[in-house]
Chain A
Amino acid sequence: MTQLGTETHPLQVAVIGSGPSGFYAAEALLKSGKSVRVDMLERLPNPYGLVRSGVAPDHPKLKQAIQVYEKIAQTPGFNFIGNVTVGRDITVEDLRRTHHALIFTCGAESDRRLGIPGEDLPGSYTATEFVGWYNGHVDYRDRVFDLSHETAVIIGQGNVAADVARILAKDIDELKDTDIATHALDALAKSRIRNIYIVGRRGPVQAKFTSKELKEFGHLNNCVPFIDPKELALNPESETELADINNPGSQKNLELFQQFTETSASGKQRRCIFTFLKSPVEIRGSGKVESIVLENNRLSGAAFKQSARGAGTSLEIPAGIIFRSIGYKGRPLPGLPFDADRGIFPNTLGRITDQNDNPIPQLYTAGWIKRGPSGIIGTNRACGVETADSLLNDIDLLATNDRKPGAEGIYPILNAKKVRHIDFKAWKKIDQHEIELGKTKGKPREKMTSIAEMLKVLG
């Protein structure tokens, strides 16, 4: 056995996925004081995951996290290998041969379903598709959203639901100077949507919005937030939750919801209507979405453990377009165990585990595919660091008699399959090209939405 993590025997780690959790795990490894090489594999030519294609275009400050990732990418020992799909271009088994350890940080790319009749009617979409579309993600550039109706309904009350609602609510003037995809800007310019419902299963105290996001709804050019005051009546358990000193977020939210009961339209043409204690039970329409049926709920259970139960009554809202934003699931990958219920790779502190909860040697995970789709960019730092710590604690178990080739073992496999893999310098060329394209339109960048176009930039 050799001493791993030394100059002559560096620890070779493959990180699969280039979003925040991948970069923070890589950073923790590269700063550990051990000799570590990180090869970050990404299925797209561009890095940065949801910071690029999830964070809303009108939240540019959040995207400054990219400056941190650029710095990590320039750390000695870091290597980006873009445009490579693990499971297709290279297998998990290949990577186990070439690297001591693998960290899967590939996110949660599929949506949870509502499981109700009519869910697949044209006009019923996932928030993921819409977010990917307006953010210029290559997978979603060809989606078409029919915005010719007056009413849109969003199911879910988390950060993503707020983003979808705000993008639908904003005027083109509020979006045109952002890095929103031009195809989305053109389509939104023709939108006839006037009413945007944001539907929550539980009550106003349990809504998952941050107050920061809610405040934005009070400052839109052409849209007012609206809540029926009756919706803010609280049961005793919710009053208890609200009064808890450790729950200041709900208190702030409720203050804002109260303000939203008093807003007047003042000439603004759109309304965002927040509504609570309702679950979708059916989407109706002949050939396309025409309405949604919501069942009224009541809360049951102790404070902080309340769940929504159907109260037996319902209402029907005419609507032409529906977005579901009720959570995300990861996708399974050949060669790895998968927890289908939670949509994650089963793990303990980032060590991927088998059906008996025993860690599988070499396999680690971080980010949404490790813990489920919760938290914001920074949450992934703590998450990535935890996984890197687990891996470094296992370093003696990861040592092998033969030397692991790392990237030098990957390239021959990719080249034999004629995979056009790109390094970080190549990505920076594409990056620069996007910024140049944006300049002509007064945008911080115009994202390239096809892999072929991106590769053309590289000649």
Chain B
Amino acid sequence: MATVVTENCNGCRFTDCVAVCPVECFHFDDNMVYIDPDVCIDCSACIPECPVQAIYEEDDLPEELKTWVAINAERAPTLPVCGEPMEPLPTAEDRKAALGF
């Protein structure tokens, strides 16, 4: 079981999640953040923080988002740690509106 970032983050990268992560398990690339499942302690603090509801507990994932479990596990360890919140991407507000939030 882990907590998983999914496609809504792509193009947003708000990083509100990062501010409340007790263990610095978020990593980032140019598009979004990912959770390292070996570091995450499943506290779920990040889930309600996401303005576009991109983060799920693994067993709450809708079928079409289940591929993100492997994507987080593979990508996160290869990327730099996101230790502090960053400015959202320039596309973030438009993407958020397009997602209906």
Contacts and interface: CB of A to CB of B under 8 A. Distances in A.
A64 B101 contact: no
Contacts of A246: 101
Main secondary structure of the interface of A (DSSP, over half): helix
A248 interface: yes
Interface string A354-393: 0000000000000000000001111111100100000000
Interface string A26-53: 0000000000000000000000000000
Contacts of B19: 381-382, 385
B10 interface: no
Contacts of A382: 19-20
Main secondary structure of the interface of B (DSSP, over half): loop
A379 B23 contact: no
Contacts of B101: 245-246
B45 A68 contact: no
Q: Interface size for chain B: under 10, 10 to 19, 20 to 34, or 35 or more residues? A: 10 to 19
A68 B48 contact: no
Contact of B41 (A65, A245, A375, A381): A65
B88 interface: no
B93 interface: no
Contacts of A380: 22
Contact of A379 (B20, B53, B57): B20
Contacts of B53: 248
Contacts of B7: none
Interface in A79-93: none
A252 interface: yes
A257 to B, nearest CB: 16
B43 A378 contact: yes
A62 B48 contact: no
Nearest to A68: B23
Contacts of A376: 43-45
A417 interface: no
Contacts of B48: 249
Contact of B44 (A20, A68, A210): A210
B83 to A, nearest CB: 8
Interface in B7-39: 19-24
A61 interface: yes
B42 A61 contact: yes
Contacts of B43: 62, 65, 376-378
Given A212-B57, A379-B45, A245 B100 contact: yes
A67 B60 CA distance: 27
Choose among B44, B53, B84, B100 the residue with the greatest number of A CB atoms under 10 Å from its CB. Answer: B44
Contacts of B41: 61-62, 64-65
A64 B39 CA distance: 9
Nearest to B23: A68
B22 A378 contact: yes
Given A64-B41, A212-B44, A248-B53, A378 B60 contact: no
A388 to B, nearest CB: 12
Contacts of B45: 375-379
Given A210-B44, A249-B48, A381-B19, A68 B24 contact: yes
Choose among A62, A376, A382 the residue with the greatest number of B CB atoms under 10 Å from its CB. Answer: A382
B46 interface: yes
A341 B57 CA distance: 36
Contact of A20 (B21, B22, B57, B100): B22
Nearest to B83: A31
Nearest to A67: B23
A375 B48 CA distance: 11
19 contacts: A20-B22, A61-B42, A62-B42, A62-B43, A64-B41, A65-B22, A68-B22, A68-B23, A68-B24, A210-B44, A212-B44, A246-B101, A252-B60, A375-B45, A376-B45, A377-B45, A378-B21, A378-B43, A381-B19
Given A245-B100, A376-B45, A381-B19, 20 more contacts: A24-B22, A61-B42, A62-B42, A62-B43, A65-B22, A65-B23, A67-B23, A68-B24, A210-B44, A245-B101, A249-B48, A375-B45, A377-B22, A377-B43, A377-B45, A378-B22, A378-B43, A378-B46, A382-B19, A385-B84
- 8 closest Cβ pairs, A-B complex: A378-B45, A378-B20, A378-B22, A382-B19, A377-B22, A65-B22, A64-B41, A61-B41
